[in-house]
Structure 1
Amino acid sequence: MRMVVLGLGYLGATHAACMAELGHEVLGIEVVPKKRQQLAAGEVPFYEPGLPDLLKRHIDTGALRVSDSYAEAAEFADVFFIAVGTPQKKGEYSADLSFVDSAIDELVPLLERDALILGKSTVPVGTANRLAERADELAKDVNVEIAWNPEFLREGFAVLDTLHPDRVVVGAFPGGTAEETCREIYSSMLEENTPFLVTDPSTAELVKTSANAFLATKISFINAIAEVCDAAGADVTAIADAIGYDARIGRKFLNAGLGFGGGCLPKDIRAFMARAGELGAAEALTFLREVDNVNMRRRTRMVEVTREVCGGSLLGKRVAVLGAAFKPESDDVRDSPALNVAGQIQLQGASVSVYDPKAMDNSRKLFPTLDYAADAIDASEGADVTLVLTEWKEFVTLKPQVLNPVVRERNIIDGRLCLNRQSWEAEGWSYYS
Structure 2
Amino acid sequence: MRISVIGCGYLGAVHAASMAKLGHDVVGVDTDAAKVEALAQGEAPFYEPGLPELLREAVATGRLIFTTDIGAAADAQVHFLCVGTPQKRGEYAADLRYVNSAVDSLLPHLAPGSLVAGKSTVPVGTARGIAERVAAVQPEAMVAWNPEFLREGYAVKDTLHPDRIVYGVPGGPGSDRGRIAEVMLDEVYAAPLAEHTPKVVTDYTTAELVKTAANSFLATKISFINAMAELCEATGADVTQLADAIGHDARIGRKFLNAGLGFGGGCLPKDIRAFMARAGELGVDQALSFLREVDSINMRRRVRMVDLAREVCGGSIVGRRVGVLGAAFKPDSDDVRDSPALNVAAQMQLQGAHVTVTDPQAVPNAERAWPDLTFAATAEAAAAGADVVLLLTEWREYRDLDPVAFGEVVAGKRLIDGRNVLDPARWRAAGWTYRALGRP
Q: What TM bracket, shorter-length normalisation?
A: over 0.9
Question: C-alpha separation between the residues in 2 aligned to 1:190 and 1:199?
Answer: 17
Q: Secondary structure of the equivalent of 2:302?
A: helix
1:70 offset after TM fit, Å? 1.3
Deviation at 1:304, TM superposition (A): 0.5
Pairing 1:163–2:160 present: yes
Distance apart, 1:112 and its partner CA: 3.9
Q: How many residues align?
A: 430
Q: Is the 8 A contact 2:332 2:395 kept in 1?
A: yes
Q: Deviations over 1:53-80 (max 9, x none)?
A: 0001111111100011111211x31210
Q: Which moved more, 1:127-136 or 1:43-52?
A: 127-136
Change (3 A) 1:163 1:112: closer
Cα distance in 2 for residues equivalent to 1:23 and 1:110: 23
Map 1:28-427 to 2 at 5 A: 28-74=28-74, 76-139=75-138, 142-174=139-171, 175-176=176-177, 177-427=180-430
* Structure 1, gaps ≥5 residues long: none
Q: Tell me how far 1:402 sits from its aligned partner.
A: 2.0
Q: Secondary structure at the match of 2:289?
A: helix
What amino acid maps onto 1:65 in structure 2?
A: I
Aligned to 1:2: 2
| Residue 363 of structure 1, CA deviation | 0.3
Q: CA deviation at 1:403?
A: 1.7
Which of 315-324 and 400-409 deviates more?
400-409
SS in 1 for 2:271: helix
Task: Give the C-alpha shift of residue 114 in structure 1.
Answer: 2.8
CA distances 1:24-62 after superposition (whole Å, capped 9, x unpaired)? 010000110111110011100000000100001111111
Q: Give the secondary-structure state (helix, strand or coil) at the position aligned to 1:413.
A: strand
Q: Which amino acid letter does the alignment assign opposite residue 15 of structure 1?
A: H
Deviation of 1:198 (Å):
0.2
| Distance in 2 separating the partners of 1:326 and 1:64 | 30
**What amino acid is the match of 2:170?**
F
Q: Which amino acid aligns with 1:97?
A: L
Distance 1:124 1:339 in 2: 28
Q: Does the Cα contact within 8 Å between 2:111 and 2:141 map onto a contact in 1?
A: no
Distance 2:405 2:6 in 1: 47
| CA displacement at 1:216 relative to structure 2 | 0.2
**Is 1:78–1:113's contact at 8 Å kept on the other side of the alignment?**
no
Conserved? CA contact 2:360–2:377, under 8 Å: no
Separation in structure 2 between the aligned mates of residue 32 and residue 394 of structure 1, nearest angstrom: 34
- Supply the distance in 2 between the matched residues of 1:403 and 1:245 (Cα, whole angstroms): 35
Q: Runs of 5+ in structure 2 lacking a partner?
A: none
Larger RCO (CA under 8 A, 6+ residues apart): 2
Distance across 2 between alignment mates of 1:426 and 1:125: 54
**Coordinate RMSD, CA, aligned:** 0.8
Contact 2:325 2:357 in 1 (8 A): yes
Conservation of the 8 A alpha-carbon contact between 1:377 and 1:402: no
**Which amino acid in the other structure matches residue 24 of structure 2?**
H
TM-score (norm 1): 0.98
CA contact (8 A) 1:105 1:138 kept: no
Contact 2:93 2:273 (8 Å CA) reproduced: yes
SS of equivalent to 2:334 = coil
CA drift at 1:149: 0.3
SS at match of 1:180: helix
- Worse-superposed segment, 154-163 or 170-179: 170-179
CA distance in 1 between partners of 2:267 and 2:90 (Å): 17
